[in-house]
Amino acid sequence: MARIAVIGAGLGAMAAAARLAVAGHHVVVRESTQTYGGAVGRFERDGFVFDTGPGLLTLPAVYRDLFVKTGKEPLEKCVDLVQVDPAARHVFADGTDLRLPNASRAGVVAALNAALGPGAGDRWGDFLVRAREAWDRTRRPLLEEPLWPDWTVLAEREPYPSVPHRRLLRTRRATTLAEVGAWELRDPRLTALLESHALAYGLDPRTVPASAAVLAYMEHAFGTWYVRGGLRELARAVYERCLARKVEFVFGTEVTGIVEKDGRAAGVELADGSVAEADFVVAGVAPEMLDRGARRSAVRSEGEVPAQRGATSRLTVLLALRGGRPEGAAHRTVVHAQDRDAELDLLFGSSPRTVARPTVTVLRPDDPALVPGPGHEAVTVTCAVPAREPDAIEGYAQRLITSAERAVPDLRERLLWHEVRTPADIARTTGAPTGAIPAPALAAAGGRWLHPSNSTATPGLFTVGGWSHPGGGLPHAGMSGALVAGLIVEGPGFRGSQ
């Protein structure tokens, strides 16, 4: 039985802890805050309850696998997991209103043809076929296997089979997601639909590789899911599974260093100067924190994928409304920006311009557990923002509310109060200095969207969570936990789940 020190209590770290405990190891999780879950947080006031992190789940099979491998009770016995239908409502800049059914290619094609005109849905359906091919080519190396030692193979090859595009005297293929939209979808609303999947992860569609098409495919193929009581209930279930497997949690404890002995990780140093010895250390923290905590100047070997430092964060406005949720209201509505180029320049460039109506996601769960009574509604509005505290934060929040009125027309008349969660709040709960949010790993583009491997240059030290392979997002966090547990239990020859 090995002693394992886990730094942080995010979803990826807890997923690793539960699996390692089942394998017979003594696992202690140390978390600097007073609770578990990392970015999967909760805010409560006056009987209203809100998720402050992700509000929906894709690829629930990752957590089903975790619960199957760590105990007798499956995931569905521990949380009430339901499919969201429609998967999303989209309100475009020109006023087009679209509802997309959940996990139905024929239904999506029909809905797009009806709302956007004949042929639009067929082009989207053909795109999904190509996106599936990219998914099939990248699923194992980017989700289910440790990062390949020869990771440059993933960096050089574009897995998305783009359609040849004739332009002047040249024939080109799309290399970015924006080019996929412009050349293959050929409708600004379809392009906005495609690019919204990248924006949800803080990715610039103008520079992110065409392989980001897998983000749209994941939602289409595996559906969109909600956990009754909010996504925080998923974090609770994973935490309780850890406790049932005898994982020990120590909250309010800051880890300030990685202890090394004979060239390998041998424990962690705590803020009070004490040392907790361990045979392995699993770090579920942002790269800046790991750099500070390691005694060596570099945790990574030369030639490895460099650690990403995210450029974008998230602004969230929590809205307590009087009056019940209207029957038939969509759980999720994406309200698209009026000025796409201005929004992208603000997020990813140096433009000082503000965006009057940014792209926002409006979540309206049909969940009595989130409100003080039937005459109320809890609504969450989010948008991507630069990974720094936005100027005039209340004014920015009001712009989000203005955009959200296109999804909830009587929003301001019904508003009781609102709370704003900023990048600084994310920084406090996750440790990422600017509140940056990690994106999922993607192939191609020279490896710029890959994340460092879970193994490090320091033997016995592993990384888990959104800032390491396979990157950000709830499914990816769960997979990182499985990969780290496999590398520790089975050793460097571990090749992923079969």
Q: Is 49 domain-assigned?
A: no
Asked if 394 and 422 sit in the same domain, the reply is yes
Among 388, 466, 395, which Cα is nearest to 422's? 388
Q: Give the Cα separation of 479 and 465 in Å (integer).
A: 9
Provide the pLDDT for residue 306: 76
Provide the pLDDT for residue 388: 73
Asked if 285 and 179 sit in the same domain, the reply is no
Per residue in 7-21, pLDDT (tens digit) is 999 999 999 999 999
Residue-range definition of the domain harbouring residue 134: 106-217
Instruction: Calculate mean pLDDT across residues 391-407.
Output: 87
Asked if 203 and 233 sit in the same domain, the reply is no
Provide the pLDDT for residue 352: 55
Q: Give the Cα separation of 461 and 464 in Å (integer).
A: 10
Q: Is 276 domain-assigned?
A: yes
Q: How confident is the model at residue 296 (pLDDT cuts 50, 70, 90)?
A: very low
CB 110 within 8 A of CB 121: yes
Asked if 348 and 386 sit in the same domain, the reply is yes
Q: Is 206 domain-assigned?
A: yes
Q: Does 103 have pLDDT greater than 90? A: no
Asked if 126 and 188 sit in the same domain, the reply is yes
Instruction: Calculate mean pLDDT across residues 111-132.
Output: 97
Asked if 198 and 137 sit in the same domain, the reply is yes
Asked if 275 and 382 sit in the same domain, the reply is no
Give the end of a domain, one of 392, 415, 437: 437
Asked if 201 and 313 sit in the same domain, the reply is no
Mean pLDDT over each residue of the chain, to the nearest integer: 92
Asked if 444 and 386 sit in the same domain, the reply is no
Per residue in 20-76, pLDDT (tens digit) is 999 999 999 999 999 999 999 999 999 999 999 999 999 999 999 999 999 999 999
* Total number of domains constituting the chain: 3
| Residue count of the chain | 498
From the number of C-beta atoms within 10 Å of its C-beta (0-12, 13-18, 19+), residue 100 rates as buried
Alpha helices in 147-256 (DSSP H): 152-156, 177-180, 188-199, 213-222, 232-244
Per residue in 330-356, pLDDT (tens digit) is 999 999 998 898 889 888 876 655 677
Provide the pLDDT for residue 300: 59
Q: Is 223 domain-assigned?
A: no
Give the end of a domain, one of 217, 245, 280: 217
Q: Is 51 domain-assigned?
A: no
Among 91, 19, 84, which Cα is nearest to 58's? 84
Predicted TM-score of the model (pTM): 0.94
Q: Give the Cα separation of 339 and 334 in Å (integer).
A: 15
Q: Does 279 have pLDDT greater than 80? A: yes
DSSP 375-387: TEEEEEEEEEEES
